[in-house]
Structure 1
Amino acid sequence: MKTFLSAPHRVGFFCGTLLLIASLTWWASEMLLRAGGSTIPSSIAPMFLHGYLMLYGFFPLFMLGFIYTAGPKWLGVASPAAKLYAPVFITYATGSALLIGALFWQPLLRIAITLHWVSWGAACLVWLNRILASKATDRGHAIRIALAFTMGWLGQAMALYWAIFDVTAGWLDMLEIGLWGFLLPVYLTVSHRMLPFFSANVIPNYSAWRPLWLLNAMIALSWGHGALKLAHFSSLPVDAVFTGLLFYTSYRWRLFASLQNRLLAMLHLAFAWAAIAMLLYTAQGAAMLAGSVILGFAPIHAIGIGFFGTMLLGFATRVSLGHAGLPLILSNLTWMLYCLLHGVAITRIFAEVLPWQNALLCAAALGALLAFLLWGSRFMPVYLKPRADGKPG
C-alpha cells in the first residue's frame, strides 16, 4: 500500500484501467447480445449509461493521476499528499463501480453520480490549491486545466439532474459540456504543453512551436462548438476553422518526423485524430444543412476512440514507463495494441456507413476490450511495485 500511494499516477492509472476494462466488458457483452437479438436486462437505457461512462467513468481518474504527478513539476510545488488525493480517487472510483451496478438497481445511479460530483469537486480544490501555492511565472496550462475541470464538474451536475429527475435534456447537456467543455480542452492543453516538449528530445533540429494563441484558439473553438450545440445552432463555421487549425498544428508539430520513434509517434498519431474528428463533424454539419444525416455517430467516436482512446494509451504508456524507472522503449506488444485501437476507431466509424453494422459494432467493442485488457495486464502490476531504478515515487 505504501508503494501504491507513493505517487498519484499509480492510484489514478490503476483504478482508471480497472474501471475502463469493466466498462468495456459490459459494453462488448451488450453488443454481442444485440447482434443475437437480445440485450442485458437493465433499469437504465444502455445508451445513456454508455454515454456517461465513456465521458466520466474512467478518463477523469487518468487525468488526475497525470496532473497530480506531472502538474506540480510545471508549477514548482510538491505533489498533493496521499491523504488528500487517495480519498478523491477511492470515492470517484467507487462511484464508477456503482454505475455498472445501477444497471440492475436504478437508485444506484443517483448515488454513483453524487459520489462523482462530490469527489470531483474535491479534486478541483486539490488542484486549485497547488496552483495557488505556486510562484511559477508560467501557470497558464495549469489554470486552463483547472477551468476545464470546473466545466467537468458542471457537466456532472447536469448528469445528476438527469439521474434525479429523469430529464433527458440534462443528459444531453452533460454530453456537450463533458465532451467540449471538459475532456477535449484538457486533452488539447496537455498536448500543447507536452507534445512539442517530447518531440524536442527526439527529433533532430526540432523547434518547439506552442504559442499561447494556439492553445487559446483551440480551447475557444472547443467551447464554441459546445455552446452552439447547447443553444441548438449549427456549429459548422466553428468546426471548419477548428479542422484547419488542428491539421496545421499536426503539420507544425512535425507528425511525419515523429514516426522515427514509436513512443513519440503514439502521441502524434493520436493527436491527428482530433483533426480527423473535426473534419467528420464539418462534413456532418454540411450534410445536416442540406437536410441529410450521413455519418451518424461517426464523428463522436472518431474523437472519443480515435483521439481520447489512443492518446490515453500513448500517454499512459509513456508515463508508466518513465515513472516506474523503466527504459523508454516501446514493446512490440504495446505497439500492436496501440495499432489495434486505431483499427477499433476506424471500424466504429465504418459501422455508421457500411451495411454490416452489427458485426462492425461487435468487432469494435471486442477490439477495444482486448486492447485495454492486454495493456492493463502489462502495466497494472507496475503500479504496485517500487520503481526499478530505486528512486522514490
Structure 2
Amino acid sequence: MARTAALKGAGTGLPVFLTAGFRLYFLAAGCFAVLSIAAWIGWLGLHAAGGAFSEAPMAMAPYLWHAHEMIYGYTVAVMAGFFLTAVPNWTGSPSARSAFVATTGLVWLAGRLAIWFSAYFDPLAVAVIDLAFIPLLGLKIGSNLLKKTQLRNVIFLGLLTAMFTGNLLMHLEWLGWTDDTAIAGTRLGLYTSAAMIVIIGGRVVPGFTRNALNRRGYSGQLPQVRPALDKIAILASVLAAVASALPVPGVVLGSLCLVAGIANGMRVAGWRGLLTWREPILWVLHLAFTFLAIAYLALAAAHLTPFLDETSALHLLAIGAVGGMTLAMMTRASLGHAGRPLIVAKPIAIAYLCVFAAALVRAFGTGFLDYFQTMYLSGALWLLGFGLYVWIYLPILAFRNSAAD
C-alpha cells in the first residue's frame, strides 16, 4: 500500500513521474537510450549473421533511423526535462503543470512510435506526429522567457528552432520532397546539441565547481571564467551548427570546428577540473566538456586533413560529449530537484566511465577490431552505462523520497 501511494503525486492522483518535467523526461530518456541502442545492436547482429527482416518496421534506412532517434528522440527528451525545470528557475515562473508534462510526453512517445513503425503509416502523418513535439516545448519555454526577458537565454529558442529544422530536413527527404537532406538534418541536430552544451556547460560547470571548491576551502584556486573566450566559443559553435547543414566547403566547417575546439579546450582547462577527482558528480562534467573540445578538434581534423574520418569524429561528439554531458546533467539535476544530497551512487561513476569508453571505442575501435566487434563493444558499454542509470534513478524519479529511501 505504501509503495502504491508513493507512485501518486501529492494530492493529484497522478503518478509521481508525471508531476515534474525532469521526472518524466529524464526517466524516458534513460529507458529510451537503452531500448534504442539495444534495437540498433540487435539489427547489426542480425545483419552480421546474414539475416534480414522480411519487412522492416521503419521506412527509412536503418542507419538514418538510428541517428534520428538518438538525436531527436533521446537528446530532445533530455532537453525537454532540462528546460522544463531550468526555465522556471531562471524566470521565476511556475513549473509546467502535470497536464502539460503528461500531454507532451504522449506527443514525444507518439513520435517515437511513428518513426519506429513508419513503414506502416503515411510519411506525411509520420512527419506531422514527430515534428509536433519541439514546437510545443518551444512555445512553453518562450512564454516563460517573455514573462521575464533574459536576452542571454533567448538564444535557446533559436537553438530549438535549429533542432526543429534539422528534424524537418530529415522528414522532407523521407517524404520525397527533397534530395539528400536527411544527413544534413542529422548534422544540424548534433551540432546544435553540442552548441547547447557549449552554452549551458559553460555556465554550470565552472559554477558548480566554484561552489564545491569554496566549501572545501580552495578559495585561492577557483575556476577562471573569461567572458571574451566564452563569446568566441559560443559564436564558433553556433556558426559550426549552421554551416553543418549548408553546402559549404569543408575548410569552412573545419575551421569553425578548430576555433570551437581550441576555445572550449582553453575554457575547460581553466575550470580546475583536477581538483574535483574525489567527486564523480563534478569530474564527469569536466570530462564531458573535455570530450566536447576534443570532438570539435577531431571534426576539424576530419574536414581539414586526411587523417581522420568524419564518422569517427561525429560519434566522438555524439557519444562522448552529448551522451556524457546529458547523463551527467540528468544524474545531478534529478538528485537536486528531488531533494536528495548531491552525491551519486558508486554504480553511477561506473556508468559515466562506460559512456566515455563507448565513445572512444566507437571512434577509434576499428583500428584494432573489425567493424561489428567495434559496434558490439561500444554498444555494450553504452547499454551498461545507461542500464545502471535506469536501475539507480528509477526509484528516484518515479517515487517520493519517503518511499524510495
Instruction: For residue 158 of structure 1, report the CA deviation from its aligned partner.
Output: 1.4
Q: How much identity, in percent, do the aligned residues show?
A: 21
1:21 and 1:112 map into 2 onto residues whose CA distance is 23
Residue among 217, 220, 224 paired with 2:232: 217
Q: Which runs of structure 2 are paired with 1:162-173 in the superposition (5 Å)? A: 162-165=173-176, 167-173=178-184
Q: Which amino acid aligns with 1:251?
A: A
Corresponding residue number in structure 2 for 1:330: 344
Instruction: For residue 9 of structure 1, report the CA deviation from its aligned partner.
Output: 0.6
Q: Deviations over 1:158-209 (max 9, x none)?
A: 12212211644220221232122x3122222211221122111112225454
Q: Which amino acid aligns with 1:16?
A: A
2:354 and 2:331 map into 1 onto residues whose CA distance is 15
Q: Do 1:296 and 1:352's aligned partners in 2 also have CA atoms closer than 8 Å? A: no
Instruction: For residue 259 of structure 1, report the CA deviation from its aligned partner.
Output: 1.8
Q: Which stretches of structure 1, 4 residues or longer, exceed 6 Å deviation after superposition? A: none
Corresponding residue number in structure 2 for 1:276: 294
Instruction: For residue 17 of structure 1, report the CA deviation from its aligned partner.
Output: 2.0
Corresponding residue number in structure 1 for 2:27: 14
**Is 1:188 aligned with 2:202?**
no
**Is 1:160 aligned with 2:171?**
yes
Q: Do 1:144 and 1:189's aligned partners in 2 also have CA atoms closer than 8 Å? A: no
Q: Deviations over 1:324-373 (max 9, x none)?
A: 22222222111111111111111101234445222111111122122212
Q: Which amino acid aligns with 1:262?
A: P
Instruction: For residue 296 of structure 1, report the CA deviation from its aligned partner.
Output: 4.4
**Is 1:202 aligned with 2:212?**
yes
Q: Which runs of structure 2 are paired with 1:93-172 in the superposition (5 Å)? A: 93-102=109-118, 105-107=119-121, 110-134=124-148, 139-165=150-176, 167-172=178-183
- Name the SS for the 1:202 alignment partner: helix
Instruction: For residue 212 of structure 1, report the CA deviation from its aligned partner.
Output: 4.7
How does the TM-score come out when normalised to structure 2? 0.87
Of residues 271-280 and 253-262 in structure 1, the stretch that sits farther from structure 2 once superposed is: 253-262
RMSD: 2.3
Instruction: For residue 253 of structure 1, report the CA deviation from its aligned partner.
Output: 1.4
**Is 1:264 aligned with 2:274?**
no
**Is 1:228 aligned with 2:243?**
yes
**Is 1:25 aligned with 2:38?**
yes
Q: Do 1:69 and 1:79's aligned partners in 2 also have CA atoms closer than 8 Å? A: yes
**Is 1:249 aligned with 2:267?**
yes
The structure-2 alpha-carbon separation of the partners of 1:389 and 1:147, relative to structure 1 and needing over 3 Å to count, comes to farther
For structure 2, list consecutive stretches of 5 or more residues without a partner in the other structure. 1-13
Corresponding residue number in structure 2 for 1:359: 373
Of residues 314-323 and 16-25 in structure 1, the stretch that sits farther from structure 2 once superposed is: 16-25
Q: Which runs of structure 2 are paired with 1:340-351 in the superposition (5 Å)? A: 340-351=354-365
Instruction: For residue 61 of structure 1, report the CA deviation from its aligned partner.
Output: 1.2
The structure-2 alpha-carbon separation of the partners of 1:369 and 1:233, relative to structure 1 and needing over 3 Å to count, comes to same
The structure-2 alpha-carbon separation of the partners of 1:113 and 1:252, relative to structure 1 and needing over 3 Å to count, comes to farther
The structure-2 alpha-carbon separation of the partners of 1:218 and 1:140, relative to structure 1 and needing over 3 Å to count, comes to farther
1:106 and 1:142 map into 2 onto residues whose CA distance is 40
Q: Do 1:99 and 1:108's aligned partners in 2 also have CA atoms closer than 8 Å? A: no
Instruction: For residue 12 of structure 1, report the CA deviation from its aligned partner.
Output: 1.2
2:234 and 2:126 map into 1 onto residues whose CA distance is 29
- Name the SS for the 1:49 alignment partner: helix
The structure-2 alpha-carbon separation of the partners of 1:273 and 1:189, relative to structure 1 and needing over 3 Å to count, comes to same
1:213 and 1:79 map into 2 onto residues whose CA distance is 33
